[in-house]
């Protein structure tokens, strides 16, 4: 997960003002004296710059913001260099730490977007120009304290991974290694950028699992980048993000599968065109466990060969309903044990629902489904009295957009345009 971030406001502004000299003149009445002009010009004072944090400060919290102000001129250039130990440098891509920031309307104040790297020697170089185009430069050096081992927020997994091609329903799922209590700051430090802009928002399913979902399905055939600007963010008391990541994935074609359980068939459309209809057998519905859930499912992990053991979902070997069976071409649709998989031995495929809750297919259909679908594709199931829970695996489309925003820590959406954080990422008291 490496690469270069997509800065919303460039570090270098290239802004300059040119002073124009105006010659004043007046009409001279007939026979009158000429109006006298003055060649005296008042030279403008140099622009004055100030930077916080102060110069030579040591062991600053890495979630300290950088603020630059100019008087008597405009800010034209900002550079923030962050140097860490050689050992850390060998493991990192420096392009992930290019600092971007926001410049106010009159170009006299610049504020950093993101936090600083822990354990870094930081050099901030700011340039401003007065009305005459004369440059003033100011440099501040300071250091940030390290993230303590055992208190470094990092990732344990993420879906999708860089290089993946996914379906239009794909969420961004980030699993952290430590609990996050300052969820707003961490949420605002994770920026999603897509070629075709859309509103989206993060929701915390647990203290260690954050999920991004767009308002509607992704538009197909586009690239998406996730910049996890975690370095320096204070995730919990004295727990700081250790490094930044970037995830680049592609949204492929749109595949939507629909299934009305009483009809015993599944229909697949690709990019709006009918592709295939397959006969199926779903859950027998003798109890909740073996009732296929109704709702919008996202296709998850897949296995060419899988041993399905009901003990993994709470039904032990000595209990009624226990089963253990080997299946082929299994695609997960929930965390409660539902898969779409081959079960040619089920003579009820196409005519009855007799499974333990999974969707059974004949071999040729199971092979086709396994080969032609991918993570993030949609299965929309109807016709049963068991509703798919939004937090059962990736049931995130079960929530309306308003309901999704209610689950968000910020309660707000942001557009995937790469414009920077939508809220605070720095320390509240800094």
- Boundaries of every domain in the chain: 48-143, 152-252, 255-402
Rounded to an integer, the average pLDDT of 290-294 is 96
- The answer for residues whose C-beta is within 8 angstroms of residue 403's C-beta and 6 or more apart is none
Q: Kindly tell me if the per-residue pLDDT of 88 is higher than 70.
A: no
Tokens of 79: 């550079």
d(CA 162, CA 172): 11
Q: What pLDDT is stored for residue 15 in this prediction?
A: 36
Decide if 48-143 and 255-402 have a common fold. Answer: no
Share of the chain above pLDDT 70, in %: 88
Q: What pLDDT is stored for residue 25 in this prediction?
A: 35
Class of domain 255-402: mainly beta
**Tens of pLDDT, residues 151-171:** 999 999 999 999 999 999 999
CATH topology of domain 48-143: Immunoglobulin-like (2.60.40)
Q: Kindly tell me if the per-residue pLDDT of 206 is higher than 90.
A: yes
Q: What pLDDT is stored for residue 347 in this prediction?
A: 97
User: Taking the model in full, what pTM does it have?
Assistant: 0.86
Q: Which CATH architecture has domain 152-252?
A: Sandwich (2.60)
Q: Kindly tell me if the per-residue pLDDT of 130 is higher than 50.
A: yes
Q: Are 297 and 381 in contact (CB under 8 A)?
A: yes
d(CA 121, CA 53): 13
Q: What pLDDT is stored for residue 322 in this prediction?
A: 74
Q: What pLDDT is stored for residue 91 in this prediction?
A: 63
DSSP state of 72: S
Q: Is 293 exposed, middle or buried (0-12, 13-18, 19+ CB in 10 A)?
A: buried
Mean pLDDT of the chain: 90
Q: What pLDDT is stored for residue 35 in this prediction?
A: 47
Tokens of 410: 């910020």
Rounded to an integer, the average pLDDT of 265-293 is 96
d(CA 21, CA 19): 7
Closest alpha carbon to 235 in 153, 145, 173, 155: 153
Share of the chain above pLDDT 90, in %: 80
Q: What pLDDT is stored for residue 19 in this prediction?
A: 35
User: How confident is residue 87, by pLDDT bands cut at 50, 70 and 90?
Assistant: low
d(CA 181, CA 23): 64
User: How confident is residue 1, by pLDDT bands cut at 50, 70 and 90?
Assistant: very low
CB count, 10 Å around CB of 395? 21
């Amino acid at each position: 997960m490496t690469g270069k971030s997509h800065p919303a406001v460039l570090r270098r502004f290239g802004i300059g003002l040119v002073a124009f000299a105006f010659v004043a003149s007046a009409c001279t009445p007939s026979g009158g004296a000429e109006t006298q002009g003055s060649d005296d010009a008042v030279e403008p004072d140099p622009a004055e710059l100030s930077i916080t944090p102060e110069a030579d400060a040591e062991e600053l919290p890495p979630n300290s913001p950088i603020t630059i102000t100019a008087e008597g001129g405009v800010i034209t250039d900002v550079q923030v260099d962050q140097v860490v130990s050689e050992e850390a440098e060998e493991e990192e891509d420096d392009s992930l730490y290019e600092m971007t920031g926001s410049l106010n309307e009159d170009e006299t104040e610049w504020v950093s977007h993101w936090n600083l790297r822990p354990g870094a020697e930081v050099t901030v170089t700011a340039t401003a120009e007065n009305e005459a185009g004369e440059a003033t430069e100011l440099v501040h050096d300071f250091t940030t304290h390290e993230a303590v081992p055992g208190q470094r927020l990092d990732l344990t997994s993420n879906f999708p991974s860089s290089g993946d091609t996914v379906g239009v329903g794909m969420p961004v799922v980030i699993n952290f290694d430590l609990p996050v209590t300052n969820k707003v700051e961490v949420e605002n430090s994770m920026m999603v950028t897509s070629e075709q802009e859309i509103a989206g928002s993060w929701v915390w399913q647990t203290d260690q699992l954050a999920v991004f979902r767009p308002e509607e399905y992704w538009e197909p055939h586009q690239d998406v980048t996730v910049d996890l600007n975690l370095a320096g963010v204070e995730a919990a008391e004295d727990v700081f993000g250790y490094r930044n990541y970037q995830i680049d994935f592609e949204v492929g074609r749109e595949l939507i599968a629909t299934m009305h359980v009483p009809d015993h068939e599944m229909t697949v459309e690709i990019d709006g065109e009918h592709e295939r209809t397959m006969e199926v057998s779903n859950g027998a519905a003798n109890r909740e466990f073996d009732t296929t859930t109704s709702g919008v499912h996202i296709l998850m992990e897949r296995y060419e060969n899988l041993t399905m053991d009901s003990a993994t979902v709470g039904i032990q070997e000595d209990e009624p309903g226990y089963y253990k069976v080997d299946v082929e071409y299994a695609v997960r649709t929930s965390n409660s044990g539902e898969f779409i998989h081959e079960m040619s031995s089920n003579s009820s495929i196409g005519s009855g629902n007799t499974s333990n809750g999974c969707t059974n297919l004949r071999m040729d259909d199971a092979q086709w489904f396994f080969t032609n679908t991918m993570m993030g594709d949609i299965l929309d199931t109807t016709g049963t009295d068991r509703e798919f829970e939004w937090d059962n695996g990736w049931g995130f489309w079960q929530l309306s957009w308003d309901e999704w925003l209610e689950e968000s820590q910020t309660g707000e959406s942001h557009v995937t345009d790469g414009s920077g954080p939508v809220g605070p990422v720095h320390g509240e008291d800094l």
